[in-house]
């Protein structure tokens, strides 16, 4: 059975703009046909109302933190950093109910679709009831996320998180972390439960919260249990200097160094943040085939620091983007933050552009970053091939040429302008798994339920 048949006057195909692109989605939600040079749309094809580009995967999300966005921008002590933000964020984590989580996630996922994302990877550690006891259905909170994603149409990869202790020198979780507790067995059960639902465009892998939050023996036990499983494995790593220092004190090695030297890394592993790394660690990750997930908006909001982007780009390491705490929610803004942070630090322009000599070079900063995170995001979610090509997920965005940031821009520079000159998302339509799930004129109405959840969480 065939799905939607679409025709775009121009579309971003395999790293460049192509004319007259005909696409057909299969019944499985993947592209069954992609052809360029089709001068006129066939009678049965839907003509897309603007240039088409692949949608991106949001490779790192804590959906419940959307209920905290904008509520931590006041200093309530002499010093404010990641750790003080985290303690305040736990207040929301301890109160949110499954019903509220579903409302928050549904609102967030609708925002993400409108912002250029087609799939979201949930780093899911909010498992238990507020008192810390398991729900009768231990997948209650994961189910709330999956139902929200199904309502909106966004793809979802759920990563149940191994979370055992509060720090390298602390044997157990803190009281305000009681909803997060999960050992290896629980993580694997939750993964299997989500897979067993067999929901369209919903999958599952696993995650390790961080090396400070999981015992080394448990990390190795989880890795052994995953032998032969193709699903993604994510871990927060080297986000904060204090984490690096604590890991050195506890193990004699830096976090990325520990993962590499323990022989854990392979192409399934995704290192989230990897902000504070050394050249040898970057080389070790590249050799292992593991990927890196960067979250520029959240990393800026939390004062994490800046990663060695030139170092990562110089090698073959897959790169992906995530919106993490969701203070930012558009794909183009994350790309812009990724480059602008480097410009501020290095006092240079077009840091991510390929400096190689033509014709091999990619002089467009936006194009080089977009192509890299397009492929890396699909790998981080366990989706397979990326982009407008046969076998990839049938996801695309139609850009709004009437957006003030894109009006009058020459076609060859359209992607550059989308990233660097269009402050809004500038998305006119979003097609997910072969279906139009967003149109700018009629966005999903998720606001009332979200507002009610926020009122219950924070008071009116």
Q: Which pTM was predicted?
A: 0.95
Partners of residue 398 on adjacent β-strands: 52, 429
Query: What mean pLDDT is predicted for residues 112-141?
Result: 98
Give backbone dihedrals phi and psi of 380, rounded to 5 degrees, phi first: -65, -30
Among 62, 234, 273, 276, which one carries the catalytic annotation? 273
Cα dist from 185 to 147, 188, 222, 276, 457, whole Å? 24, 5, 8, 31, 31
In this prediction, residue 355 carries a pLDDT of 72
CB-CB contact of 161 with 169 (8 Å):
no
pLDDT at 7 over 80: yes
d(CA 256, CA 244): 9
User: Please, which pLDDT band fits residue 357 given cuts at 50, 70 and 90?
Assistant: low
User: Please, which pLDDT band fits residue 77 given cuts at 50, 70 and 90?
Assistant: confident
- Tens digits of per-residue pLDDT, 205-216? 999 999 999 999
pLDDT at 81 over 90: no
CB-CB contact of 418 with 430 (8 Å):
no
User: Please, which pLDDT band fits residue 1 given cuts at 50, 70 and 90?
Assistant: very low
- Tens digits of per-residue pLDDT, 363-416? 899 999 999 999 999 999 999 999 999 999 999 999 999 999 999 999 999 999
391: helix, coil or strand? coil
pLDDT at 132 over 90: yes
> Is 273 tagged catalytic?
yes
DSSP 58: E
> Is 458 tagged catalytic?
no
Among 324, 395, 400, 416, which one carries the catalytic annotation? 324
């Amino acid at each position: 059975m065939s799905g939607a048949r679409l025709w775009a006057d121009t579309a971003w195909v395999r790293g460049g703009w192509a004319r007259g692109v005909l696409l057909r989605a299969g019944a499985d939600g993947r592209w069954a046909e992609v052809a360029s040079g089709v001068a006129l749309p066939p009678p049965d094809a839907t003509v897309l109302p603007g240039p088409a580009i692949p949608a991106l995967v949001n490779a790192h999300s804590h959906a419940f933190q959307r209920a905290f966005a904008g509520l931590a921008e006041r200093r309530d002590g002499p010093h404010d950093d990641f750790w003080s933000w985290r303690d305040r964020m736990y207040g929301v984590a301890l109160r949110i109910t499954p019903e509220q989580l579903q409302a928050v996630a549904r609102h967030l996922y609708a925002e993400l679709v409108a912002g250029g994302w087609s799939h979201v990877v949930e780093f899911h550690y909010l498992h238990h009831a507020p008192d810390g006891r398991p729900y009768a259905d231990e997948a209650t909170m994961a189910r709330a996320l999956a139902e929200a994603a199904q309502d909106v149409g966004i793809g979802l990869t759920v990563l149940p998180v191994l979370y055992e202790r509060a720090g390298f020198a602390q044997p157990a979780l803190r009281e305000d972390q009681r909803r997060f507790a999960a050992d290896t067995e629980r993580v694997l059960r939750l993964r299997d439960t989500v897979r067993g639902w067999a929901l369209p465009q919903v999958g599952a892998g696993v995650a390790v919260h961080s090396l400070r939050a999981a015992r080394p023996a448990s990390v190795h036990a989880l890795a052994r249990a995953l032998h032969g499983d193709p699903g993604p494995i994510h871990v927060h790593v080297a986000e904060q200097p204090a984490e690096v220092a604590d890991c050195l004190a506890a193990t004699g090695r830096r976090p990325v160094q520990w993962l590499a030297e323990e022989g854990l890394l392979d192409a399934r592993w995704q290192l989230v943040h990897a902000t504070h790394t050394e050249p040898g660690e970057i080389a070790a990750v590249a050799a292992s085939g593991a990927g890196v997930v960067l979250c520029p908006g959240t990393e800026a909001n939390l004062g994490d620091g800046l990663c060695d982007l030139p170092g990562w780009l110089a090698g073959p390491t897959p790169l992906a983007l995530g919106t993490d705490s969701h203070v930012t929610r558009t794909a183009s803004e994350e790309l812009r933050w990724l480059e602008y942070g480097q410009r501020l630090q290095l006092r240079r322009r077009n840091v991510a552009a390929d400096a190689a000599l033509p014709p091999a070079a990619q002089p467009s900063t936006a194009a080089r970053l977009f192509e890299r995170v397009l492929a890396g995001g699909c790998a981080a979610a366990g989706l397979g091939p990326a982009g407008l090509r046969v076998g990839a997920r049938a996801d695309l965005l139609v850009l709004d040429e009437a957006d003030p940031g894109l009006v009058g821009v020459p076609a060859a520079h359209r992607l550059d302008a989308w990233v660097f000159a269009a402050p809004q998302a500038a998305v006119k339509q979003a097609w997910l798994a072969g279906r139009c799930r967003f149109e700018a004129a009629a966005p999903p109405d998720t606001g009332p339920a979200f507002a009610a959840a926020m009122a219950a969480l924070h008071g009116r």
